[in-house]
A = this chain, B = another copy of it.
Amino acid sequence: MATIRKRRGRENRLEKPVSLDRSLRYRQLRHPFAPQGFFTEDAIINIHNMALKVLEELGMKILLDEARKIFKTGGAIVNDTDLMVRMGREMVEAALKTAPKSIPIMAINPDRCQQFELGTLMFAPGGGCPNTTNLERGRRPGCYADFEETVKLHQSFDVIHQLGPSAEPQDITPELRHYATMNAQMTLSDKPMFLYSRGQKQVEQAFEMIRIGFNLSDAEFAAGTWVSTVVNTNSPRMLDIPMGQGIMDFARAGQLCIITPFCLAGAMAPITVEGALVLQHAEALAGITLSQLTKPGAPVAYGGFGSNVDMKSGAPAFGTPEQVKMTLGTGQLARFIDLPWRSAGGSASNVADMQAGLENNMAMWATVMAQATVVKHSAGWLEGGLTFGYEKFINDIEALQSFAELCQPPEDSENALAWSALEQVDPGGHFFDTGQTMRRYKDAFYQPLVADLSNFGAWSEAGAQTSTERAYTVWKDVLANYRLPDNSAEIGERLKPYIKAETDAGGAPPVA
C-alpha cells in the first residue's frame, strides 16, 4: 500500500498563504506530545495476559456460523451448541503480527487522504446519534435533511478528518438508507467516509457505490481504505451476526474495520478500570484475530471506548476521571501490541453547557495524551450519543482547532526570539507598533470560531449571548456558505442509475 505524505515540511508551511487558509494546516496532523500512560508497564502486561486468559479459558460467544468456522480452521476450540469460541494466545499473537501498522485512508480529494498509524491524529464527529438538536428546530429524531446538513458541517471544517454518521436518517426506510447515506457522503463531501456494518448485502452495495461513483478499478479500490466501519462487540464477550459479518466483509475488501468494545465499567464490564480494560482488550483482540484469520494483512484497528456508569442510576457517564484513565490505559495497550487505535470524546450532558464542555474536553485531552490515532465523537455528541447537537458541534470544533494549532511545530527561529522588538520598546511601553508586530499581526494567533473576546459592556450590548447561542449563527453561516466539492455532480450522475436499479429491486434490508 502506498504511504501518504505525512506532514508538510516547515518551509512549505511558512511559504503558505495564511489568513483564510490557516485551517489547511489542520488536515494531516501528527501528535505533538509524548504519549502518556496511567498504569505501570507491569500492569499493562498483566492486563494483556489476563485478556489472553479470558479468550483462552472463558472464550467469546460468536453468533455467526461462518465466523466460528473461520476461528475453528484457525485452531480455536469451538462449541457449535453454546456458540463459544476459545482461542489460544498463539492465534492472537499471529494476528497481531499480520495486522498492518500503517493504513492509507483514501478520499476522492487527495488532500484529504490520511495515513492511519501510531503517531497520526484524526478527528471524527459525533456519530451514531438517533436524534439531533439545535436552537432552530429543537430536539427531533434524525432525518435525511439532518444527515445532509451534518455532512456539510463536517465537510466545512478541515479539522474534521473523517465523516461520521452524526444523524440517523430515520425517515428513510432501512433497506434503502445506505444508498442515501453513501450518496450524501460521496457528493456533499470529499473526505474519508464511514459505513455501518448492517449486513453483507448493504456493505457490498456500498463498496460497489464507491467503485462506481469514484470510478475506481477493483485494484484502486483495494489499494487503500475508502470507507471504514466500527464493530462494537456486545460486551461482555459476545459478537453478534452483523458485527461478525462486518469484520469479514471489510477484511476481504481491504477496507478498515475498527474493533471497539464499548465497556462501561460497573455495567457491561467489571467495576474496576483495570478489569474493564481486560474485557475490552480481550474482545478487541478477538475481533482483530477474526479479521486476520479472514484475510492476513487486512486493515483492522484496535479500538477502545470505555467509561463508567453512575452506580446509583446505571446511567452512562462521559468525560469522567474513569474515562480518562481507560483512555490512557487503552493507549498503553495499543502501543504494547503496536497497532494504531481509535478512541473517543463524549458527553453525557443534555445540553451544550459547561458540563458538556468539561466532559468533552476531559475526554479529548485524554485522547491527545494517550496518542489516539482517530478520535470518534470528538464534536457534537450530547446525551451520551443519543443526540447530535449543532451548537455543541461548533463549540467542540473550537477545541479541535486548538489541538490542531498545538500540532504545528514552533517557529524556533532567531526572529521569533524578538530581540529587535524588545530593544525598540521602552520599559512600561507596548509592542503594538513594533515592526515585528506589524509584520505578523494578521496571522500570529489562532482566530476563535465562536469565542467572544469583547468586554462585558460590549458583550451585553450585543445581546449577552452565550457561546451556545452564538454557535447557532456560526453553523447557519457555515451552511449558507457551504460549497459542493469538485466533481460532486459527476459522482452523483454516476451513482443515480445504480441507486435507482437497486431501489427498484427492493434494496437491502439490514441484518440484526
Contact = CB atoms under 8 A, between A and B. Distances in A.
Contact of A412 (B36, B39, B352, B444): B39
Given A36-B33, A349-B451, A362 B362 contact: no
Contacts of A274: 410-412, 416-418
A353 B467 contact: yes
Contact of A267 (B38, B431, B450): B431
A423 interface: yes
Interface stretch (A70-78, A150-158, A222-230, A316-324): A316-324
B320 A446 contact: yes
A406 B324 contact: yes
A455 B274 CA distance: 27
A461 to B, nearest CB: 11
A481 interface: no
A54 interface: yes
Contact of A313 (B42, B386, B454, B468): B454
A237 B430 CA distance: 11
A133 to B, nearest CB: 9
B422 A273 contact: no
A266 B444 contact: yes
Contacts of A422: 54, 58, 236, 270, 275, 278-279
A440 to B, nearest CB: 5
Given A355-B451, A453-B348, A428 B315 contact: no
A288 to B, nearest CB: 18
A320 B402 contact: yes
Nearest to A54: B422
A61 interface: yes
Interface in A430-454: 430-432, 434, 436-437, 440-442, 444-446, 448, 450-454
Interface in A367-425: 369, 383, 386-387, 392, 395, 398-399, 402, 405-406, 410-412, 415-419, 421-423, 425
Interface stretch (A45-53, A91-99, A117-125): A45-53
A410 B268 CA distance: 21
B353 A468 contact: yes
A446 B38 contact: no
B354 A278 contact: no
Contacts of A440: 271-272
B427 A237 contact: yes
A215 interface: no
A357 interface: yes
A355 B395 contact: yes
A234 interface: yes
A238 B444 contact: no
A510 interface: no
Given A234-B427, A238-B428, A362-B399, 7 more contacts: A32-B38, A40-B410, A272-B444, A275-B422, A308-B445, A350-B459, A358-B451
Q: List 5 A-B pairs, minimum CB-CB distance, nearest first.
A: A275-B418, A357-B357, A321-B405, A270-B418, A61-B427
19 contacts: A33-B36, A33-B369, A38-B410, A43-B410, A234-B428, A236-B430, A238-B428, A265-B444, A271-B440, A274-B411, A274-B417, A275-B421, A279-B418, A279-B422, A315-B455, A348-B453, A354-B356, A355-B450, A383-B456
